[in-house]
Amino acid sequence: MHTENKIQLAVFDWAGTTVDYGSSAPMVVFEEIFTKAGITLTRAEINGPMGMEKKAHIRSLLSLETASRQWNEKYGRTWNEEDVEHLYEKFEARLAEVVAQFSTPIDGVVETVGRLREMGVKIGSTTGYNADMMKNVLPGAEKVGYIPDCVVTPDVTGMGRPSPFMLFECMRQLGVYPVKNVVKVGDTIADILEGKNAGAWSIGILTGSNLLGLTEEEYSCMSADALAKRKDETVTKYLAAGADMVIDSMRELPAAIEALNNRMAGEALR
């Protein structure tokens, strides 16, 4: 198999993909700051834009019909960019306090990354967190053996997901091209769109994902039939966003990448 027809770079998301099962930290903080502002949102509403740069996420939540209506009722006016900035400041400060508690790698991540490196795959990362937030996430992950080759945040590129520029920056830093040799792996629609907008492969993960929307306790307590239905619905969402593959957990990623390599090798022989 020719090197140019193999995956050479896997770009991971952070919360909900490699650390923080269920993407709990940002969800909890979004819920807290909006509740304090007098706006009640469901978990599904909060999770909808997950994966985006956090200021854009706040803007997206305020744009919801339910949030806009509540804002008008409470403040007697439409929300504006000053409100976005104010909420973001509160979000950033609160997240900095709690994010380190949610930096433990999800089961199977460290072993999978080791296997990928044995396969010659470099490990990139992109995130909706900014660089200051990541300073509180990285030490906990590093302590137990998860150290990506590069970490790119939205403040580095000026644009977050679903734009492709953080992924392109990973490619630039790690010297990997063309983009067909890159796979984006994540747990949100924004992750899938980031990969597709770049022209890379995109893989969605089910277990521990934001899109599945379950805590570890909820996952373990759910009946097999209900969990299977929930996973089927999540697969449909990933595929509708353009995902090339959906895997149950990170442990299945090496086999998924081998499948992509075989697919590219087959296309090259035609």
Report the Cα–Cα distance between both ends of the chain, in Å, rounded: 14
CA distance 9 to 126: 13
**Token pair 């909420």: residue:** 87
Residue type present at position 18: T
Instruction: Judge contact between 7 and 253, C-beta under 8 A.
Output: no
13 tagged catalytic:
yes
DSSP one-letter string for 92-120: HHHHHHHGGGG-SBPTTHHHHHHHHHHTT
- DSSP 3-state assignment of 248? coil
Q: Which two tokens stand for residue 75?
A: 């403040």
CA distance 6 to 258: 9
State residue 244 phi and psi, 5-degree precision. Answer: -80, -30
CA distance 149 to 147: 7
Q: Of 6, 20, 54, 122, which residue is the catalytic one?
A: 54
74 tagged catalytic:
no
Q: Cα 165 to chain center, whole Å? A: 15
Which of 6, 4, 3, 11 lies closest to 263 in space, CA to CA? 6
Instruction: Judge contact between 257 and 217, C-beta under 8 A.
Output: no
Query: So which residues are the catalytic ones?
Result: 13, 54
